[in-house]
């Protein structure tokens, strides 16, 4: 284990926007991992458990994407796209990690972004980790609807009723949403402060509403029809796919990615939902460390 880790933070300017980042730098760096948060529209805060990997000699770079967390707003909403976000990731990598190849980790929408980035820039990567990520919004929506059907009747009927009318603030709808989240987003009570902070950022900023929609399972935004399932076979770098047993982005979604990326590894994390880095922090970190170690060992 590394004897000392230095935490740095600051802003990096990409495409004219100041993006906030946190950087965990061990005294001896075995490898670098850039981490992409989800939402789209949350913040990097809920991914802070990934900093545990710095204790094993891995540099961990986390940042708030455009219009997220402490980063600047992108005023041109026509740029609220995967294409723009991919170039932002590349801008962050070039400025913060200009030397050598890195690992890319993405959670949820961040996992989708990691896949999209890899289709264009996998030559910059040693490997990729997709945690609760997706390659198809449509399949994810279909699977989330299946999970809604399996909720208690009071919750599923409230979601169906108020989804149909677009009344996303009705108390019954919000109660049912919390029921879904407690089963499939994070199975912890109380919810960790860092997770709550990321969710609060998503509610306050515009990105989540414009790109995703009113909540996790009602995807009405610009990413609703996004699908790169037929392209991801082009990804040839080592890839780890993790998914929680009760994940809102289900094992079916993960399996579709796994079977198309040749040589990829898929791990189902027991008793976890979407935020397994909190629900089984030790097990999740160990899973990532084993994968990264194996990739670095093979590269020697």
* pLDDT tens-digit series, residues 69-121: 999 999 999 999 999 999 999 999 999 999 899 999 999 999 999 999 999 99
Q: Is the pLDDT of residue 155 over 70?
A: yes
Residue 87 has a pLDDT of: 98
Residue 152 has a pLDDT of: 98
Average per-residue pLDDT in the chain? 96
Q: Which of 37, 184, 258, 274 is catalytic?
A: 274
Whole-structure pTM value: 0.97
Residue 98 has a pLDDT of: 92
- 3-class SS at 274? coil
Q: Is the pLDDT of residue 5 over 80?
A: yes
Residue 299 has a pLDDT of: 81
Distance of CA 244 to the CA centre of its chain: 13
* pLDDT tens-digit series, residues 26-48: 999 999 999 999 999 999 999 99
Cβ-contact 114, 104 below 8 angstroms:
yes
Omega before residue 243 within 30° of 0, cis = no
Q: Which of 108, 156, 198, 276 is catalytic?
A: 108
CATH classification of 5-299 is 3.40.50.1100, yes or no? no
Domain boundaries along the sequence of the chain:
5-299
Cβ-contact 237, 122 below 8 angstroms:
yes
Q: Residue 271: what are its φ and ψ, rounded to 5°?
A: 60, 15
108 assigned to active site: yes
Q: Which of 247, 258, 264, 276 is catalytic?
A: 247
């Amino acid at each position: 284990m590394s004897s000392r880790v230095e935490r740095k933070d600051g802003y990096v300017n990409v495409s004219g926007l100041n993006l906030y980042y946190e950087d965990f730098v061990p005294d001896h760096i075995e490898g670098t991992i850039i981490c992409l948060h989800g939402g789209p529209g949350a913040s990097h805060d809920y991914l802070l458990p990934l900093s545990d990997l710095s204790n094993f000699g891995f540099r961990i770079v986390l940042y708030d994407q455009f219009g997220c967390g402490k980063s600047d707003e992108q005023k041109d909403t026509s740029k609220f796209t995967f294409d723009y976000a991919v170039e932002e990731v590349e801008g962050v990598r070039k400025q913060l990690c200009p030397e050598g190849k890195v690992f890319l980790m993405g959670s949820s929408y961040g996992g989708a972004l990691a896949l999209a980035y890899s289709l264009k820039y996998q030559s910059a990567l040693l490997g990729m980790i997709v945690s609760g990520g997706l390659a198809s919004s449509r399949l994810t929506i279909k699977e989330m609807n299946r999970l809604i059907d399996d909720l208690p009747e009071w919750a599923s009927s409230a979601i169906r009723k108020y989804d149909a009318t677009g009344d996303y603030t009705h108390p019954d709808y919000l109660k049912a949403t919390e029921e879904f989240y407690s089963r499939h987003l994070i199975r912890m009570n109380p919810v960790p402060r860092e997770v709550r902070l990321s969710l609060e950022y998503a509610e306050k900023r515009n990105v989540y509403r414009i790109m995703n929609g009113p909540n996790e399972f009602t995807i009405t935004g610009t990413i609703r029809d996004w699908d790169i399932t037929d392209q991801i076979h082009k990804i040839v770098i080592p890839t780890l796919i993790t998914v929680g047993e009760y994940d809102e982005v289900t094992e079916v979604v993960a399996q579709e990615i796994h079977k198309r990326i040749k040589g990829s590894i898929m791990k189902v994390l027991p008793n976890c939902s979407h935020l397994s880095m909190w629900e089984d922090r030790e097990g999740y970190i160990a899973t990532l460390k084993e994968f990264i170690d194996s990739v670095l060992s093979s590269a020697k």
